A and B are shown apart, each in its own frame.
Chain A
Amino acid sequence: SQTIHQWPATLVQPVGSPLSLECTVEGTSNPNLYWYRQAAGRGLQLLFYSVGIGQISSEVPQNLSASRPQDRQFILSSKKLLLSDSGFYLCAYETGVVEKLFFGSGTQLSVL
């Protein structure tokens, strides 16, 4: 069966520090992968998506970057965090066979 793992669940980082959030998918190959951000009580904002290894599309200009070093691994990074980077980050995947998006459990990032 297909599963998605996202870690850490919670992260508190000082302003100016680097960031690395990791997401992995199991049980499928060549998934489309996504990073979303959700402000408290708000909707979902698409940050990045990837249709294959090394292929990253950015939806909004920002302080963050994404990488896909392996087929089922998606990483969200920043060299220097800003206060405005705080939020709930969600990784998601779809298999491309059927239009359905499945989410990880999320990472609550607080930048202080």
Chain B
Amino acid sequence: GQQLNQSPQSMFIQEGEDVSMNCTSSSIFNTWLWYKQDPGEGPVLLIALYKAGELTSNGRLTAQFGITRKDSFLNISASIPSDVGIYFCAGYYQNTDKLIFGTGTRLQVFP
């Protein structure tokens, strides 16, 4: 089946640093979603992208829908301790209504 390759698997950064993570696939996706999951909680939707090349921000978070429609990027600027968690990308694969999730990026922020 289709799968999304998410990288990096984990990140350990200093507070104040910027963070970048990405999701790639060999297939074309219609929609890209980015989620954050805190321990013991359900994932929370951060940003949704619907058009190739689209760049959308949510506070310190910025995500982009890759121009090839096969990838997406999430950037976090000036990280703070509450950014800690697991970030998942997800995409609706072309011509289906099923959402496919990436394997997640675990982010740790040190003061």
Q: Which A residues form the contact surface with B (CB < 8 A)?
A: 6, 32, 41-44, 46, 49, 88, 90, 92, 98-106, 108
Contacts and interface: CB of A to CB of B under 8 A. Distances in A.
A43 B88 contact: yes
A100 B33 contact: yes
Interface in B10-27: none
Contacts, number: 47
Interface stretch (B63-71, B76-84, B94-102): B94-102
A101 B33 contact: yes
Nearest to B101: A44
A101 B40 contact: no
Interface of B: 30-31, 33, 35, 40-45, 48, 50, 88, 90, 92, 97-99, 101-104, 106
Given A43-B88, A46-B98, A103 B104 contact: no
Contacts of A106: 40-42
A88 B103 CA distance: 15
A43 B103 contact: yes
Given A99-B33, A100-B33, 12 more contacts: A6-B42, A44-B43, A90-B43, A99-B30, A99-B48, A99-B50, A101-B45, A103-B42, A104-B42, A106-B40, A106-B42, A108-B40
6 contacts: A43-B101, A44-B88, A99-B31, A99-B48, A99-B99, A108-B40
A70 to B, nearest CB: 21
Contacts of A108: 40
B55 to A, nearest CB: 18
B46 to A, nearest CB: 11
Nearest to B90: A101
A95 to B, nearest CB: 13
Contacts of A49: 98
Contacts of A90: 42-43
A104 B45 CA distance: 11
Nearest to B35: A103
